[in-house]
Structure 1
Amino acid sequence: MSNEVDYFEIGSPDPEASKAFYSGLFGWEVGPPSSPAQYSMVNTDEGGLWDTSGMGGANWAIFYVHVDDVPAAIDKATALGATVALPLVDNGRIEFAQLLDPLGNRFAIWQPKGA
C-alpha cells in the first residue's frame, strides 16, 4: 500500500453546499459531523469534509499518500523542495503531516500507527 493515494479531505466554509455538490456528482455519502471540529466522513472512511466556517473559512482539497515512514517522507520531500505546512501529528491511531510542493500545492502523507 506504500505511496498510494488512499484518502482525501475537502475543506469548505459551506459544508452543506459541498455535500450537495459532491453527493450529486459522485454519489458520495457524507455523514453528519462526528467531532467538535465539524468533520464529516465521506463514504464511511474514504475521505472527509471539514466545516471551515469556524476556522477562517478556507477552501481546499487535499490528497493523502500512504507512506511507510512519515518522518522519512518529510525529510525526503523537504530535500526535494517541499515545505512543511502542518508538522507531524500523532493522534494515537495515525501519523500524518501536510506539506506544500515546490509550486505551493498542498498534499499530505500518512501511515497507521504500528504499521
Structure 2
Amino acid sequence: MQNHQVSWFEIGTDDPEATMDFYGKLFGWKFIPYHDMENDYYNIVEPGNEYPTGGILATAGKVAEYSTFYTLVADVAEGIASAKEAGAQVIWGPVTDKTGLTFARLRDNGGHQFGLFSSGN
C-alpha cells in the first residue's frame, strides 16, 4: 500500500502522563498502551476512529522532545533512498516492530523531522 498521505503522528516527551492528560482534556483522546515496540513507554491515541492515528513516546531525557508526522509508503527502504536523493538525512531506521510495521525517522533538507512507515502488507 502506498498513498503518500500523512497517516500517523508521534509526540516524544519526557513527561508522557502530562502530555496525555493535556491532549485528553483538549480533544477527549484516550490512550492505549502499546507493547509491540522495543521501548519503555509508548501509548497510541484512540480518538474513536477505526484506526489509531498517533502515539506518545516517552523520551526519558534521551532525545529532545518533538512532534512529528509519518507518511505511509509502499516500501520504507525505497522511501529512504528517494528522500536521501532529495537531500534528507536518516535519523534512525528502518526498524520493524513485532506486528510487521516498518518505520524510519528522517530530517528533511531544512532540518525538520518526518517519518516513513509501511504496514508490511
Q: What value does the CA root-mean-square deviation take over the aligned residues? A: 1.8
Q: Which residue of 2 aligns with 1:59?
A: 65
The runs of at least 4 consecutive aligned structure 1 residues that moved more than 6 Å come to none
What CA distance in whole angstroms lies between the structure 2 residues aligned with 1:17 and 1:50?
12
SS of equivalent residue, structure 2 residue 74: coil
Provide structure 2 residue ranges, at least 5 long, that are not aligned to the other structure. none
SS of equivalent residue, structure 1 residue 68: coil
What CA distance in whole angstroms lies between the structure 2 residues aligned with 1:66 and 1:96?
9
| Length-normalised TM-score, structure 1 | 0.86
2:116 to 85, 109, 114: 109
Cα distance 1:108–1:57, how it changes in 2: closer, same or farther (>3 A)?
closer
What CA distance in whole angstroms lies between the structure 2 residues aligned with 1:91 and 1:23?
26
Q: How many residues align?
A: 112
What CA distance in whole angstroms lies between the structure 1 residues aligned with 2:97 and 2:16?
24
SS of equivalent residue, structure 1 residue 30: strand
> Which residue identity is paired with 1:70?
V
SS of equivalent residue, structure 1 residue 42: strand
Q: Which residue of 1 aligns with 2:105?
A: 98
Q: Deviations over 1:82-112 (max 9, x none)?
A: 0000121123511111100011111110111
